[in-house]
């Protein structure tokens, strides 16, 4: 945006060059330091991913025995695991499909419900508003792990265990998402509402027809955050699901990690391949990822 504008500053005639040289060498040193730190950090970030990529080219049992490392043992390396993944990987793509379905349903549901709720909080004044909003803030600080036992009992009592509904339902009104949408909506002029009312649109019509389209950037950010959380969700689905045919990717992968297995090839290539969908999403929509992840942070 601003890079295309010409600099407002007049052309600098430049101070005495003798004063500029030491400063330049200092900034050069600082720049080298900066890049050295960056390179080191990037290396540490990528090493584990590189290591598991290398493992996809080696026999699984060998990796299980020897651990992960950065090199390849060329005497046994090959594409056999990749061929196996696409031709003979058992339930892997069933899990993959299940994860895809849950992620889609959960993301769409959460976005709709949470935007609805956030709109109520952002645009209206009503009794108990503050108290109810404090409830949103409290959810943000309650560990889900503390609720999982009673929730588990409750789901069993309601005969909902082993269903995708039980995985999705408790998180439809997501506190983080509500919080983010509310912040976004509060910056919106309320004239739109008044204009809609004058035109005779219902309160819900105003939301669906006038506000929702304006929320697109916020929705994109939260869509990605929720999709990622849902794709990677592990603990709650682990408690809810019983039938192996309904397992999601993380749960399926976890079942491969037993000391009694006799072929670990799918474990490593399956783990690597499960990152790919979310990685592609990330590469396409980086800005929204970062916005989504940093959404909760209180700014200013």
Partner 1 sequence: MRDQGDRMRKLLYSQKLAPYLFILPFILTFGLFWLYPVIQAVVMSFQKILPGMTTYIGTTNYSRLFGDRIFWLALTNSVRYMVLTLVLLIPIPLLLAVLINSKLGNPKIKNFFKSTMFVPALTSVVVAGIVFRFLFSESDSALMNSIVEFFGFGPVKWLKHDLTGLAALLVIAMWRWTGVNMMYFLAGLQAIPTELYESASIDGANAWQKFWSVTVPNIKPTIVYVVTISVYGGLAMFLESLMLYGNNNSPFNQGLTIVGYLYRMGIEKNDMGYASAVGVVLLVLVLTINLIQLTATGTFKKETR
- Nearest-approach distance from CB 12 to partner 1, in angstroms: 16
Which one, 184 or 272, has the nearer CB to partner 1? 272
- Nearest-approach distance from CB 110 to partner 1, in angstroms: 10
Which one, 83 or 135, has the nearer CB to partner 1? 135
- Nearest-approach distance from CB 174 to partner 1, in angstroms: 9
- Nearest-approach distance from CB 72 to partner 1, in angstroms: 12
Task: Please state the three-class secondary structure of the chain as a single string.
Answer: CHHHCCCCCCCCCCCCHHHHHHHHHHHHHHHHHHHHHHHHHHHHHHHHHHHHHHHCCCCHHHHHHHCCCCCCCCCCCCCHHHHHHHHCCCCHHHHHHHHHHHHHHHHHHHHHHHHHHHHHHHHCCCCCHHHHHHHHHHHHHCCHHHHHHHHHHHHHHCCCCCCHHHHHHHHCCCHHHHHHHHHHHHCCCCHHHHHHHHCCCCHHHHHHHHHHHHCHHHHHHHHHHHHHHHHHCCHHHHHHCCCHHHCCHHHHHHHHCCCCCCCCHHHHHHHHHHHHHHHHHHHHCHHHHHHHHCCCCCCC
Which one, 86 or 234, has the nearer CB to partner 1? 234
Which one, 66 or 76, has the nearer CB to partner 1? 66
- Nearest-approach distance from CB 68 to partner 1, in angstroms: 4
Which one, 53 or 84, has the nearer CB to partner 1? 53
């Amino acid at each position: 945006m601003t890079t295309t504008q010409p600099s407002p500053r007049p052309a600098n005639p430049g101070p005495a060059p003798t004063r500029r040289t030491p400063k330049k060498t200092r900034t050069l040193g600082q720049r080298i330091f900066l890049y050295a730190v960056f390179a080191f950090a990037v290396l540490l970030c990528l090493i584990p991913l590189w290591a598991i990529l290398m493992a996809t080219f080696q026999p699984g049992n060998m990796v299980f025995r020897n651990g992960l490392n950065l090199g390849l043992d060329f005497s046994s390396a090959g594409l056999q695991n990749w061929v196996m993944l696409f031709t003979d990987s058992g339930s892997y793509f069933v899990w993959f499909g299940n994860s895809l379905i849950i992620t889609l349903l959960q993301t769409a549901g959460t976005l709709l419900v949470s935007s609805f709720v956030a709109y109520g909080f952002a645009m209206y004044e009503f009794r108990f508003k503050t108290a109810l909003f404090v409830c949103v803030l409290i959810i943000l600080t309650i560990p889900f792990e503390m609720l999982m036992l009673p929730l588990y009992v409750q789901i069993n009592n309601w005969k909902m265990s082993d269903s995708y509904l039980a995985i999705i339902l408790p998180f439809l009104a997501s506190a983080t998402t509500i919080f983010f949408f509310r912040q976004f909506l509060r910056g919106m002029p309320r004239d739109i509402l008044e204009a809609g009312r004058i035109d005779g649109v219902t309160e819900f019509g105003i939301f669906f027809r006038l506000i929702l389209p304006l929320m697109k950037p916020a929705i994109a950010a939260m869509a990605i955050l929720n999709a990622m959380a849902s794709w990677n969700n592990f603990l709650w689905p682990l408690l809810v699901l019983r039938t192996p045919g309904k397992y999601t990717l993380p749960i399926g992968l976890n079942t491969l990690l037993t000391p009694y297995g006799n072929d670990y090839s799918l474990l490593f290539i399956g783990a690597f391949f499960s990152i790919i969908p979310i990685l592609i999403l990330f590469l396409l929509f980086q800005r929204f990822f970062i916005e989504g992840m940093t959404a909760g942070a209180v700014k200013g």
